[in-house]
């Protein structure tokens, strides 16, 4: 068994923390002695002990008085460079330096830390595998570190003629249950779910995560729900506002109107008074916060505003086989005319069938 094998093991451990470590990263760790795994763990919840510490602690529990000699001469595999700065917990490099590891093998560099140099200066052999699986684990985190703004995805369910808004009130869904279940995973990956007042007022949505398997984990926290509204004429009785979880109204006003009873954990993000309020200003403000991933689930207007300003990194389309009636609206309401399905602007990074629908992911070039 080689480095690729053990780092893949660490990746599968990291994935156990998926959905539960936002806005933090997913990290897995294995400790290997004489080609045998003696400790393994992952980052389980935001603010909790890091994967490396959990793995070392597992060795301590397993080997009791002998743990130190067990760790001596072992290789520690971590999917992400160990942290060197004190954050919500102590710096992992300080803990690692207590032991005589033969090699520290990492899957990907952490551009926000200095763990590799720190360990090398202390005499450790550090190997960076630059492993693709490890880079994919924390795509939004790396994006934020590089571009200083969150990774912004837009999900759109649409008909075969690319319309996303019914004109008749009769029907609520364009796509089938499997596609909607898939959207639940996108939501669970997001730090923020963002919509516009049009969607709140037309659909009265919940926009929370409801998949039992995901929400059953005690470490799962619902993503914050943000809504853009300049005039604040919102359907405040929508489950979007009533369900538990953080809610934020993005507006040019300073305060919210008097709200009906039963709405808690709601605040205002006040932007400059422009009509409509600027999606660019929003991204500038939100980039100052610890937010890596935003999922937009909005109608043509808000989507158009973000798209026109080139703020969307990834479009996730769920396309049904049906056509909608003539009066139904095209999914994109911006003033720029994009040919989304021509590969000059976007790369198709995924295309698959989900139930009766097609899923296509387009990523900005």
Ligand X SMILES: NC(=O)c1ccc[n+]([C@@H]2O[C@H](COP(=O)([O-])OP(=O)(O)OC[C@H]3O[C@@H](n4cnc5c(N)ncnc54)[C@H](OP(=O)(O)O)[C@@H]3O)[C@@H](O)[C@H]2O)c1
- Please count the residues of this chain forming the interface with ligand X, following the rule CB under 6 A: 28
Site string for ligand X, 176-195 (x = CB under 6 A): -------------------x
Q: What's the residue count for the chain?
A: 365
Nearest to 189 by CA among 297, 272, 276: 297
- Nearer of residues 110 and 297 to ligand X, judged by Cβ: 297
* The only residue of 305, 312, 324, 346 in contact with ligand X, by rule CB under 6 A: 305
Binding ligand X (rule: CB under 6 A), the pick from 9, 143, 225, 301 is 301
Residue nearest to ligand X (CB): 299
Interface with ligand X, residue 224, by CB under 6 A: no
31, 56, 238, 277: which one binds ligand X (CB under 6 A): 277
Is 291 one of the binding residues for ligand X (CB under 6 A)? Answer: no
Catalytic annotation, pick one of 52, 81, 189, 297: 52
Quote the least distance from Cβ 255 to ligand X, whole Å: 15
For every residue of 99-149, DSSP letters joined together read S--SEEEESS--TT--HHHHHHHTT-EEEE---HHHHHHTHHHHHHHHHSS
Contact pattern for ligand X over residues 226 through 245, marking x by CB under 6 A? --xxxx--------------
Of residues 44 and 297, the one with the C-beta less far from ligand X: 297
For residues 149 and 129, what is the distance between their CA atoms, to the nearest angstrom?
26
Q: Would you call 52 a catalytic residue per the annotation?
A: yes
Which of 79, 76, 10, 90 lies closest to 47 in space, CA to CA?
Answer: 90
319 touches ligand X by CB under 6 A: no
**Beta-bridge mates of residue 192:** 224, 294
Q: Any idea what DSSP says for residue 26?
A: -
State which of residues 31, 116, 165, 209 lies at the interface with ligand X (CB under 6 A): 165
Contact status: 281 vs ligand X (CB under 6 A)? no
When the beta carbons of 51 and 156 are compared against ligand X, the nearer one is 156
What dihedral angle (degrees, nearest 10) is formed by the CA atoms of 56, 60, 61, 63?
120
Q: Is the dihedral of CA 4, 8, 14, 15 positive or negative?
A: positive
Phi-psi region of 46 (alpha: psi -120 to 50; beta: other; left: phi over 0): beta
According to the binding rule CB under 6 A, does residue 221 interact with ligand X? no
Q: Crossing angle for the helix pair 279-286 and 300-308, nearest 10 degrees? A: 70
Of the residues 54, 333, 357, 362, which one makes contact with ligand X according to CB under 6 A: 333
Q: Is 11 in the site for ligand X (CB under 6 A)?
A: no
Q: Please, are residues 106 and 80 in contact by the beta-carbon 8 Å criterion? A: yes
Residues binding ligand X (CB under 6 A): 156-158, 164-165, 174, 195-199, 202-203, 228-231, 276-277, 279, 297-302, 305, 333
Catalytic residue ranges: 52
């Amino acid at each position: 068994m080689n480095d690729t094998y053990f780092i893949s093991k660490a990746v599968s451990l990291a994935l156990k923390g998926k959905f539960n470590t936002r806005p933090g990263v997913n990290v897995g760790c294995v400790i290997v002695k004489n080609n045998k795994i003696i400790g393994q763990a992952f980052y389980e919840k935001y603010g909790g002990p890091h994967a490396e510490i959990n793995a070392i602690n597992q060795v301590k529990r397993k080997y009791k008085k002998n743990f130190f000699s067990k760790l001596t001469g072992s290789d520690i595999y971590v999917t992400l460079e160990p942290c060197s700065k004190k954050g919500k917990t102590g710096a992992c490099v300080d803990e690692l330096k207590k032991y005589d590891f033969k090699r520290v093998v990492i899957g990907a560099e952490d551009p926000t830390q200095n763990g590799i140099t720190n360990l090398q200066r202390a005499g450790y052999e550090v190997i960076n595998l630059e492993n693709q699986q490890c880079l994919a684990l924390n795509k939004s985190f790396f994006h934020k570190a590089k571009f200083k703004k969150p990774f912004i995805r837009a999900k759109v369910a649409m008909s075969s003629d690319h319309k996303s808004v019914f004109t008749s009130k009769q029907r609520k869904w364009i796509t089938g249950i499997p596609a909607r279940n898939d959207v639940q995973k996108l939501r669970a990956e997001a730090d923020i779910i963002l919509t516009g007042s049009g969607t709140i007022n037309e659909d009265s949505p919940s926009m929370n995560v409801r998949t039992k398997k995901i929400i059953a984990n005690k470490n799962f926290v619902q993503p914050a729900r943000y809504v853009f509204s300049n005039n604040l004429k919102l359907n405040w009785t929508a489950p979007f506002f009533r369900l538990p979880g953080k809610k934020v109204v993005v507006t040019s006003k300073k305060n919210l109107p008097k709200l009906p009873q039963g709405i808690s954990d709601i605040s205002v993000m006040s932007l400059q008074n422009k009509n409509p309020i600027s999606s660019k200003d929003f991204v500038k403000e939100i980039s100052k916060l610890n937010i890596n991933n935003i999922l937009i689930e909005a109608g043509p207007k808000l989507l158009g505003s973000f798209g026109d300003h080139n703020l969307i990194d990834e479009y996730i389309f769920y396309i049904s086989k049906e056509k909608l009636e003539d009066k139904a609206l095209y999914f994109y309401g911006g003033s720029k005319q994009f040919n989304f399905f021509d590969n000059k602007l976007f790369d198709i990074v995924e295309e698959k069938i989900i139930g009766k629908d097609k899923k296509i992911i387009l990523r900005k070039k």
